[in-house]
Amino acid sequence: MGAAVVISCLASAVPPVAGADFLPDAVPIARTGSPVEAERSLRAADQPADRFVAIYSGSTKGTYFYVGNAICAALDATFSKHRIRCVSLRSQGDASNVSLMAQGRAQFIIIQSNTNNDAAEKRIDLPTGRSVMSLHDELGVIVVGRGKTVANLSDLRGMSVNVGPDGTSSRNLWAQLLAANGMALSDLGSVYGAAQDLNPQGLCDGFIDAYGLWIGHPATSVSTSIADCGASIIGMQSPGTDQLIAQHPYFFRGKIPAGTYPNQDRAIDSYGFKATLVADSRVDPDLVYWVVRSVVENIDVFRAQHPALANVDPRAMFEKANFLPFHEGAARYWREIGWLDDRVAK
């Protein structure tokens, strides 16, 4: 992966469309006629109509895509109760998913809890976004190429590092982390803005010395970098991260357990946030209700789909990281089981 190739692979988020119609991708509708007629056209005689849920997730080299599939697996386990068919759609991740929802193309998206908070505080424009539930932990990790000695963040000075494309959450998180530790992107040797899918190839080919991710673990790209490129990993815990945790409600300290990755014989201290599921306010509340109910009532099915989900707790899915108001359908389920009382979905 040469520098020219890296630069040409920059991801560019499509700008939001003001007042966009709600026409979600991968949800069948009739070529002509009303939605009711479309439903009837899909239905055999005396057969209840199937309904459809599509979740914009992330790259197949990350974790979001598999978490989207895990939600679909939980829905499939209760299909006879609701007849909802579900698909996890690939995307470029957090920032791309926000743009897709702003364009009216997404029913459900997986985004980081800091993005959820930014939307709730109106720092980003996502007027139709509503919380459904939080998901797994996403902890920061720095992946370092073979033969490079990096014990902490400051050792990256002068090195070639991929921080992700302009405007992405990854690049913004890098800038924030460096600033909290008295550094800037200019302190790195060469700063690349390639899509995160290209990280293992760039590391193996020697075009970058390191990259960093905030992600659910284990992640395919990290495992591939270690197995194929002889990479090593370190956490992001530092005095600067202590400051970030104190300043922002979505950050927390965490550990990547020993044995999560090949040759990792000790736990790695880091920090991070949660992934969250967000629905467009215009999604049928009954669809959202069944998404939440199916995951909570089939939590073992959900957890079994990916190691990052192994310790997900339903109570935490309700209590943590849902900064946007709950969607009407999610609120209905949380109230039904007695967890939501004085909080009101808007």
Q: Which residue has the tokens 């469309």?
A: 17
Sign, Cα dihedral of 337, 340, 311, 170 = positive
CATH topology of domain 35-135+276-336: D-Maltodextrin-Binding Protein; domain 2 (3.40.190)
Cα first-last separation, the chain: 47
Q: Two tokens at 38?
A: 């479309």
Q: Two tokens at 205?
A: 């080919």
Cβ contact 322:119 at 8 Å: no
Q: 139-273: what CATH class?
A: alpha beta
The helix/strand/coil state of 40 is helix
Low-confidence ranges of the chain (pLDDT < 50): 1-18, 30-35, 38, 343-346
What lies within 8 Å, CB to CB, of 205 at 6+ separation is 1
Same fold, 35-135+276-336 and 139-273: yes
Q: Two tokens at 321?
A: 């990281």
Q: What is the spatial distance between Cα 33 and Cα 29, in angstroms, rounded to a whole number?
A: 9
The model's pLDDT over 236-285, given as tens digits with 9 standing for 90+, comes to: 999 899 999 999 999 999 999 999 999 899 999 999 999 999 999 999 99
The model's pLDDT over 117-161, given as tens digits with 9 standing for 90+, comes to: 999 999 999 999 999 999 999 999 999 999 999 999 999 999 999
Report the pLDDT value the prediction gives residue 155, as an integer from 0 to 100: 96
Domain boundaries in the chain? 35-135+276-336, 139-273
